[in-house]
Structure 1
Amino acid sequence: MAEQDFTSSENPRCILFKDARSTLKLDELGVEIATIALPAAMALTADPIASLIDTAFIGQIGPVELAAVGVSIALFNQISRIAIFPLVSVTTSFVAEEDAMRGKAGRLDFEEDDLSSQDSEKKMLIPQKGLGKQMPSLESQESLEIDEVAKGKKQIASAPSALIIGGILGILQAVFLITAARPLLNFMGVRYGSDMSTPAEHYLKLRSLGAPAVLLSLAMQGVFRGLKDTKTPLYATVSGDLANIILDPIFIFVLKLGVRGAATAHVISQYLIALILFWRLQGQVDLFSPSLEYMQFGRFIKNGFQLLTRVIAVTFCVTLAASLAARLGSIEMAAFQVCLQVWLASSLMADGLAVAGQAILASAFARKDYNRAAATAARVLQLGLVLGLCLTVMLGFGLHFGARIFTQDADVLRLIGVGIPFVALTQPINSLAFVFDGVNFGASDFAYSAYSMVMVAIASITALFFLSSAYGFVGIWVALTVYMSFRAFAGFWRIGTATGPWEFLRS
C-alpha cells in the first residue's frame, strides 16, 4: 500500500490525527511496527514485572524491608538510567542508520554502473547537516562489505563501540554504588541507624554487582533494536527473569537470606541475560576485529553527552519523588514503591512503540524517505494513545483487586488505594511522552530532547517540592502527573512547530 503524502502544506500539529482510521490497520507499516514493538514491549516490561515479583516476595517479609528495598531499587534504577538511556538510544539510532545505508548502497550497485550513478551513491553516503550523521566513505563501505562476505557477519562499527562503552560504564557504576551506598541512601532519606538503613544498604551493594551485566545487556539490546530484531532480546530477558523468579523464594525463604537473597537472585539473572545476548550477537555481527578508524566513539560521546544531560534531568525528577516519599515514613514509601513499580511497568509498554518508531524513523531519515518518516511518526503516536487508554481501564480496575499481592499491611494498602487513580489516569499521557521520545530519537534530534527536558525538569522539581510539602503523598503524585504532562508537550512541540529535522512537514 502506498503511503499517504505527508509532506504537504497541512498543519503539522495535525499529525496525531493523520489517517487516524488506519491506526489499527495491519498494512505494511502496521505489520512492521507490530513486529518490532510487540517483542520490544514484552522485553521492556519483563524486568519491571520481575521487580514487581521481587517486591511481592519482599513484601511478605515486612513493610520495613519492602520500603528499604523500594528505596534501593529506585536509587539503582535511576543511576543506571544515567548510563543506560543514552547508550541504548544512541546505539539503536546509529545501528539502524548504518544498516539502512548499507542496504541502500547494496541495492544501488545493481541499478547502474555509470559514473553518474557512482557519484549519486557517494552523495547519499555523505551526512546531511542537521541530522548529525557521520557515515563512512564509499571506499570504506565497499571494504567492509567484502569482509562481511568473507566472515559471514555484519560489519557494524556501532556494535563493538557500544559494548566497549557499556562494559566500562557498568564497572564504573558498580564501583560507585558500592563505595557510595551509605551517602546515597542518606540522600534518599534513609538515615543511618533507621530501621530501613541496614536492609537497604545490603540490597543496594549486592545488586550493584550486576551493574556490568545490566549495561552490557542494554548495549546489546540497542544493537538488536537497530537491526529491527526485538525477538532475541525478548527471549534473553524472559529467560533471565524466569531464573530470577525461581531463585527468589529459594534464596529469600529457603536459605533465609532475606533481602540479600532477592538481590543475589537478581544479579544472577542479569548475567544470564548478558551471556545469552552476547552468544546470539557475536553470531551475527563481527565484534572482535573492528577497524579503529571506522569505530564510532566520537559520535557516541557527542550525542551520548546530550542525552546524558537529558537523562540526568529525568532521573533527578523520579529519584527526588522517591526521596520525598521516603522522608514521609516507611508506610508512605512502601505504598509509593508499589505504585511506582506498577506505574513504570505499565508505562514502559509504550516504549515498545517508541523502539519501533525510532528504528523505522532512523532508517527512513537515513534514506531521506520523508513520507515514510511522517507516516511512521503519526502511526506510532496514534497507537500510543490507544495503548494508554487501554492501560487506564485495566489498571483502574485491576490494581484495586491486586494490591494485596504486594502487601497485607492495612495502612500501606490504604495509601496504595490513594495512588491508584494517578497510576491509572496518567497512562495516556505517559504513553504519548514515551513514544514522542522514540520519534525524536529516530530523527537524531538529541540536542532538542536534552535541552527541552532540562526545562521540564526545572518546572517539575519546583512542583515536587511545593506539592509534597503541602499535600504529602498525594502532592507527590500530582507533581509526577505534571511532570509527565510537560514531557509529552515538549515532545509534541518539535513536530507541531515543524522545526529541526521535521522542517520537511512545511514543504
Structure 2
Amino acid sequence: MMTVTAWTLKFEHKTRRHIPSASTALTMGSILGLVQAILLISSAKPLLNFMGVGPDSLMLTHATRYLTLRSLGAPAVLLSLAMQGVLRGLKDTKTPLYATGDATNIILDPVFIFIFHLGVSGAAIAHVISQYLITAILFWRLMAQIDVVPPSIKHLQFGRFLKNGFLLLLRVIAVTFCVTLAASMAAHLGPTPMAAFQVCLQVWLATSLLADGLAVPGQAILASAFARKDYNKAAATASRVLQLGLVLGLILAAALGVGLTFGAKLFTRDASVLSIIVMGIPPINTLAFVFDGVNFGASDFAYSAFSMVAVPVLSVMLLSILSASHGFIGIWIALTMYMSLRAFAGFWRFGTGTGPWNFLWK
C-alpha cells in the first residue's frame, strides 16, 4: 500500500508542469497586492478628496470606511487575477468561471448589510470574503496542474515580467486615470449625480465582462497560433472574434437603450437619481475590449501601451470641456468618445497590417 501511494504521489508530481512565468506572476501578484493595500489604507482620505469627497462631505465617513475595508482584499484580488491569467494561458477557462465569488458576494451582501446592519461596511466585508474564497479555490486548482513554488529564486523571470509588465502598467494607469477622472467630475457635481454615475458605471462594467468572454479565449487562441507561426489561424481567429464582438456590441446597445430606461429602478427608488440615470449613456466597449484581446494575443504590448496613453490624453481634454459645458451628460458623451477612440486604435493596428499583423499584407 505504501509503495502504491508513493508511486502515485511521484506520478502526480511528474504530471504537474513547471512554468517559471506562472510562479513569477503569482509572486508579483502577491507583492503588488500587499503594496496596493498599504497605499490605499494609508492614503484613503487624500484619494477621496481628489475624487471630490471633501472634508465636509456627508459621503466622507462612509467612503473612507468602505475603501479601507475593501483595500484588505487587494492581495486576494491581484493574486486571483494572476492565477486566472495562468489558467487562461493553459486554456482552462472553466476553473475561473466556477471559482467566481459572485454567488458568495450576492448571499453575503444582504446578510451583512441588512441582518447585521453594517451598511456600506457590510458590502465591503462581503466582497473581501468572496475575493479570498476565489483565491483559495483558484490556488487549489492551480496546484494540481503546475508547480506553484519554483525550485529556487533564479528560476523566476522578473526581468521579462518587468519589461512587459511596465508597458501594461503604463497602459492600465492611463486607462484607469481617465475613468477615475470621470468619477471625480461626477462627484464634484454632488451626491445625486455621483449616485447616478455609479449605477451607470456598474452597467458599463457589466458590459465589459461580457466583452471579456470574447477577448480572453481569442487572446489564448491567438497566442497559441502566433507561437506556432500559424498565421492563417491567427487571421481567421481575429476576424471571427471581431465579428462576434461587433454583433455583441449592437445587441448590448439596443438592450441598454431600452433596458436602462425601465431597469434603473432595480438600483434605486430615489426619484432624483432615477431622473439622472436615464440621461446617462453607458458606452458600448465591446469592440475596444475585443481589440485589446487581439493585440495581447499577438504580444503587441508596446503598441497597446503607447496607444492607450495617447487616447486618454485626448479623452481627458474632452472630459474637461464636456463636463464643464454639459455636466452629467457631457461626462458620458466624453466616455463614449473615449471608448470609440480605444476601438479605433485597436482597429488601426490590425487594419493597416503593421507590427505583428504585417503578414496580412504579404
Which AA in structure 1 matches 2:137?
I
8 Å contact 2:207–2:286 — kept in the other structure?
no
**Offset of 1:344 from its aligned partner?**
1.6
Provide Cα deviations, 1:373-411, integer angstroms capped at 9, x if missing partner.
Answer: 111110100000011111112222222221111111111
Task: For 1:77-116, list aligned pairs within 5 A.
Answer: none
Provide Cα deviations, 1:131-178, integer angstroms capped at 9, x if missing partner.
Answer: xxxxxxxxxxxxxxxx99852201111111110000000000000000
Provide Cα deviations, 1:177-223, integer angstroms capped at 9, x if missing partner.
Answer: 00000000000000012101100000000110000000111000000
Task: For 1:15-54, list aligned pairs within 5 A.
Answer: none
8 Å contact 1:364–1:372 — kept in the other structure?
yes
Which AA in structure 1 matches 2:332?
W
Aligned to 1:83: none
Which AA in structure 2 matches 1:303?
N
Give secondary structure in 2 for the equivalent of 1:502: helix
Matched, 1:163 2:26: yes
Aligned to 2:83: 220
**Offset of 1:314 from its aligned partner?**
0.3
Task: For 1:84-483, list aligned pairs within 5 A.
Answer: 151-237=14-100, 240-419=101-280, 422-423=281-282, 426-427=283-284, 430-483=285-338
CA distance in 1, matches of 2:229, 2:354: 16
CA distance in 2, matches of 1:148, 1:325: 58
Which AA in structure 2 matches 1:285?
I
CA distance in 2, matches of 1:214, 1:313: 20
Aligned to 1:27: none
Which AA in structure 1 matches 2:54?
R
CA distance in 2, matches of 1:160, 1:289: 6
Q: 1:182 to 1:148 in 2, by over 3 A?
A: farther
CA distance in 2, matches of 1:246, 1:499: 48
CA distance in 2, matches of 1:394, 1:404: 16
CA distance in 1, matches of 2:151, 2:287: 38
Which AA in structure 2 matches 1:185?
L
Q: How many residues align?
A: 353
Give secondary structure in 2 for the equivalent of 1:284: coil
**Offset of 1:293 from its aligned partner?**
4.2
8 Å contact 1:157–1:290 — kept in the other structure?
no
Aligned to 1:505: 360
Which AA in structure 1 matches 2:208?
S
**Offset of 1:294 from its aligned partner?**
3.8
Give secondary structure in 2 for the equivalent of 1:444: coil
Which AA in structure 1 matches 2:77?
V
8 Å contact 2:73–2:128 — kept in the other structure?
yes
CA distance in 2, matches of 1:327, 1:149: 57
Which AA in structure 2 matches 1:224?
L
CA distance in 2, matches of 1:373, 1:210: 37
Segments of 4+ in structure 1 off by > 3 A?
A: 147-150, 289-294
Aligned to 2:6: none
Provide Cα deviations, 1:209-249, integer angstroms capped at 9, x if missing partner.
Answer: 00000011100000011111111011111xx2211111111
8 Å contact 2:29–2:82 — kept in the other structure?
yes
CA distance in 2, matches of 1:478, 1:178: 33
CA distance in 2, matches of 1:434, 1:492: 11
Which AA in structure 1 matches 2:251?
C
RMSD across aligned C-alpha pairs, in angstroms? Answer: 1.3
8 Å contact 1:155–1:290 — kept in the other structure?
no
**Offset of 1:292 from its aligned partner?**
4.0
Greater shift after overlay, 196-205 or 344-353?
344-353
Provide Cα deviations, 1:62-104, integer angstroms capped at 9, x if missing partner.
Answer: xxxxxxxxxxxxxxxxxxxxxxxxxxxxxxxxxxxxxxxxxxx
Q: 1:293 to 1:476 in 2, by over 3 A?
A: same
Give secondary structure in 1 for the equivalent of 2:330: helix
Give secondary structure in 2 for the equivalent of 1:217: helix
Give secondary structure in 1 for the equivalent of 2:245: helix
Provide Cα deviations, 1:294-319, integer angstroms capped at 9, x if missing partner.
Answer: 43221110001011111111011000
CA distance in 2, matches of 1:344, 1:257: 25
CA distance in 2, matches of 1:258, 1:301: 40
Which AA in structure 2 matches 1:231?
K
Aligned to 1:484: 339
8 Å contact 1:155–1:285 — kept in the other structure?
yes
Provide Cα deviations, 1:326-371, integer angstroms capped at 9, x if missing partner.
Answer: 0000000000100111012113211121111111111111111111
Give secondary structure in 2 for the equivalent of 1:418: coil
**TM-score, length basis structure 2:** 0.95
**Offset of 1:504 from its aligned partner?**
0.7
**TM-score, length basis structure 1:** 0.68
Give secondary structure in 1 for the equivalent of 2:278: helix
CA distance in 1, matches of 2:225, 2:11: 24
CA distance in 1, matches of 2:328, 2:115: 36
Which 5+ residue runs of structure 1 have no aligned equivalent?
A: 1-146
CA distance in 2, matches of 1:460, 1:348: 22
8 Å contact 1:160–1:290 — kept in the other structure?
no
Which AA in structure 1 matches 2:50?
F
**Offset of 1:461 from its aligned partner?**
0.3
Which AA in structure 2 matches 1:380?
V
